[in-house]
Amino acid sequence: MSFLEIDHLTKHFRVHKGLFGAEEETVKAVEDVTLSLEKGEILGLVGESGCGKTTLSRLIMQLLPPTSGSVVLQGERLAALPPEEIRMRRIDFQMVFQDPYASLNPRLTVFSTLAEAIRTRHPESFGDNLARRVGELMRRVGLEPRYMKKYPHEFSGGQRQRIAIARALATEPKLIIADEPVSALDVSIQSQILNLLMNLSKDLDLTMLFISHDLAVVHYVADRIAVMYQGRIVELGDADEVFHHPKEAYTRQLLEAVPRIEYQNAS
């Protein structure tokens, strides 16, 4: 069995429309998605806005209940677990969001943000031991520990995303879901964050689902690419094969629509 198995996952929403909401319509956000990730693999999920990528990520994170289908992590069906056990297991799968400023608590210093996450895995950590762990985590993502008493607004966008990545790593997860982690950043900063994620995946043997609307970005970072359209996976394969020899017309449209950016390896 693969490290992560997504089996025929479906999510439908009921929405009301028309005068006084009298009409009911079913929105098929995710429709019969089957994917698998091997340990240490980076799977890129690409598609236009509204295609269901973020809904799929929230289904995997157990933030939304599926209409049907299942998510199996290391042989364990997550939806079968009681809510309190899901909360405990969630330290094993963490998310990095698109907007680092919105995802960080502006009232907490970097130290408080990271310390809180570290203590979910190591509740015995206090004092100097906790400060040492926070400092090590900051160094790992390319930040100076001397800045740990600063607040999110005192950092640049790229630095805030590094803090968000550090928070995700603080629980020592086995799976990272990165949902558009560079789309809110300047192009000059994007390659730094992409290289950081790739190096962390390699060094820590992380499994990662990397979500983006930009096929060039996904090709740069992923081992395999899954293309999503209207809630379904329409193409899946090796990253180079999908990028250079796409089989589906929709994948070719994504290639034509997105500017090619050559990222220089900064590692």
Reported as a single tens digit per residue, the pLDDT across 171-197 is: 999 999 999 999 888 888 999 999 999
The answer to whether position 146 is within a domain reads no
Contact of 163 with 143, CB cutoff 8 Å: yes
Q: What is the pLDDT of residues 30-55, one digit of tens each?
A: 999 999 999 999 999 999 999 999 99
Mean pLDDT, to the nearest integer, of 74-82? 90
Q: How do strand 76-77 and strand 42-46 relate by DSSP bridges?
A: unpaired
User: Which of these, 179, 21, 174, lies nearest to 100 by C-alpha position?
Assistant: 179
User: Which of these, 175, 180, 181, 134, lies nearest to 162 by C-alpha position?
Assistant: 181
CA gap 116, 112 in Å, rounded? 6
Q: Which residues pair with 211 in a beta bridge?
A: 45, 179
Q: What is the pLDDT of residues 87-116, one digit of tens each?
A: 888 899 999 998 888 889 999 999 999 999
User: Measured at the alpha carbon of residue 181, what is the angle toward residues 162 and 175, in degrees to the nearest 5?
Assistant: 85
The answer to whether position 166 is within a domain reads no
The answer to whether position 114 is within a domain reads no
CA gap 176, 97 in Å, rounded? 11
> Where are the extended beta strands (E) located within 18-167?
23-37, 42-46, 68-73, 76-77, 93-96
The answer to whether position 66 is within a domain reads yes
Residue 252: CATH number of its domain = 3.40.50.300
The answer to whether position 121 is within a domain reads no
Mean pLDDT, to the nearest integer, of 133-138? 96
**Residue 265: per-residue pLDDT:** 54
Q: What is the pLDDT of residues 205-244, one digit of tens each?
A: 999 999 999 999 999 999 999 999 999 999 999 999 999 9
Task: Quote the percentage of the chain above a pLDDT of 90.
Answer: 79
24: confidence class by pLDDT, cuts 50, 70, 90: confident
Q: Residue 157: what are its φ and ψ, rounded to 5°?
A: -60, -45
Q: What is the pLDDT of residues 1-12, one digit of tens each?
A: 799 999 999 999
Domain count, the chain: 1
| 104 φψ region: left (φ > 0), alpha (ψ -120 to 50), beta (else) | beta
199: confidence class by pLDDT, cuts 50, 70, 90: very high
The pair of structure tokens assigned to 115 is: 């310390």
Q: How do strand 76-77 and strand 207-212 relate by DSSP bridges?
A: unpaired
The answer to whether position 110 is within a domain reads no
User: Quick check: helix, strand or coil at residue 167?
Assistant: helix
The answer to whether position 145 is within a domain reads no
**Residue 140: per-residue pLDDT:** 95
**Residue 258: per-residue pLDDT:** 67
267: confidence class by pLDDT, cuts 50, 70, 90: very low
The pTM is what? 0.90
**Residue 83: per-residue pLDDT:** 87
The answer to whether position 195 is within a domain reads yes
- Domain extent at residue 64: 4-18+25-99+174-257
Kindly give the interhelix angle for 157-170 and 187-204, rounded to the nearest 10 degrees. 20
